[in-house]
Amino acid sequence: MGSLVPEPSPPRRRHRPLREAIPPLILGTATFNTQYVPDPFDLPALSIVSRALDLGVRAFDTSPYYGPSERILGDALAHPAVAERHPRCSYFLVTKAGRVAGGEFDYSPAWVRYSVLRSLERLHTPYLDLVYMHDVEFVSPAEVLAAVRELRRLRAEGVLRYVGISGYPVGTLCALAEMVRRETGEPLDAVLSYGHYTIQNTTLGASAMARFDGAGVDVVLNASMLGMGLLTTRGADAGPLATWHPSPEGLRKACQDLVPIAAEAEEKLEVVAIRWALDNWSRVGASKGASTSRLATGDRVGVSVMGISSVAELEETCRVFNSVVEGLEPETADDAEQTRRRRWSLDRRRKIQGLVEKMWTVLGEWKDYSWSSPEPGFVNARKPADVGVTPDDGILAKHAAKSQVRVQVEELPVEQVAA
């Protein structure tokens, strides 16, 4: 009879820095949610995910706060048509924890643990690559610190690989990144900022990046290049966005005034916004970006998260991003086609920059405007008695049972691990 004691797992290598593991373009699935579409289950999620992987997009971002997004994404990744061609190790999976509902947050270690383990179930994965604490500005710094410590405990257990925070106010993100390093002696792997490097708002610039550098953050990601729908032809007053978008009426109108400027140049506002943000963040965010083999050794590209709700949007985004990278590549004298593509990209950059500068004039006082997050007087809707209370749905028990039979092997220093 064989032994009932499981064989020890081989010693694990220490994880390489996030910048060497994260892809420079991430498919965001906040759009797999009723906040953006009437019925997210009507989206062609399987086609989007399959096509993304075929196009070389190797990272996906989601959150339990995004309604059914985790389940929709997880089911697509687990579908035989995808899983048989793209094993789990071939893509990078990101989710979040802490935001329970619109105005409800639970950053307690118990809830963070439950949320992460529930995400494993929903995403059909044994581990997560990166987990953020979601919208950190809505809770106290002490709560953020406790939650980050719990994520790191989960990291030590092999449940996740990298730890970060996400949110809206750039100053708050900088201050919390500095606090985490000061209080724990270890910097955050990642900070996700949204809506702050767009044609309307460039707050996530040199000053913020210097603070993140001082805080030791490895990767800073830019999300919501369209301002959560503000910078589109239809704007934030159309569809489901109209009921929840936090932007004031004046900003919405100012952004709609950009539509005819784009049209006069035979462009669409969303195309201009995406191209400008991808192109500029690839350079502005490079110091805290992803390493890529497409550029010279050691060069990095700013990491962008792009929400997608159709295969056509995906293909257009990939086309634009590939063109942006071509503009970053050094010119090769013996490759005429590469030179042609590079020069086309640089010409496109100049045209879009000129157009955006006209838009900045129209935006006027709304340029670099950020709304308050949270709004004055915000009170967490999570009742104190409910903080840390988790559902009795078997998720914690299942993980505990797995942990009991798992033989923990202490991770060796890198220099002691065999090649």
Q: Which residues are catalytic?
A: 66
Q: What CA–CA distances, in Å, run from 74 to 32, 45, 288, 290? A: 12, 10, 28, 25
Q: Are strands 104-105 and 99-101 parallel, antiparallel or unpaired?
A: antiparallel
Paired tokens of 287: 């110091």
Q: How far apart are CA 119 and CA 72, in angstroms?
A: 12
End-to-end Cα separation, the chain, in angstroms: 34
Check if the beta carbon of residue 35 is closer than 8 Å to that of residue 101. Answer: no
d(CA 91, CA 50): 12
Alpha-carbon Rg for the chain, nearest whole angstrom, is: 22
Residue with tokens 């798992």: 406
**Closest to 73 (Cα-Cα) out of 53, 54, 89, 56:** 53
Alpha-carbon span 70 to 54, nearest angstrom: 21
Q: Which residue has the tokens 């690839």?
A: 282
Q: How many CB atoms lie within 10 A of CB 251?
A: 22
